[in-house]
Amino acid sequence: MFLRYISGFIIGSLLGGLIGYLAKCASGTCPITSNTYITVLIGGMMGIMLVARPPEKTEDREQSFDVAQDKKSEDRSKEDL
């Protein structure tokens, strides 16, 4: 799990550094792209956030969907009466 965060940070940092290096602001007024170190940190944090998403639970979703469908069918049967 910890290796997953580190790899996300490294890949994000590399991409952020590449963006910071290639997309520099000519005037230096752009807060993100004017400093390559900032883009490396932002890219690393974005990489961690993408990797740290909770896993999707398909069983829970299917179960809650079934419960919602059952409730809708009960409501419809009450309306018919």
**The whole model's pTM is what?**
0.59
pLDDT at site 15 = 92
Q: Strand locations in 1-81, DSSP E?
A: none
| pLDDT given at position 20 | 82
Distance CA 20, CA 42 (A): 10
Kindly report the number of other CB atoms within 10 A of residue 40's CB atom: 21
Q: What is the pLDDT of residue 72?
A: 61
The conformational region for residue 28 under phi > 0 = left, psi -120 to 50 = alpha, else beta, is left
User: Can you give the pLDDT of all 81 residues of the chain as single tens digits?
Assistant: 788 899 999 999 999 889 888 887 777 778 777 788 888 999 999 999 998 877 666 655 555 555 555 566 665 666 555
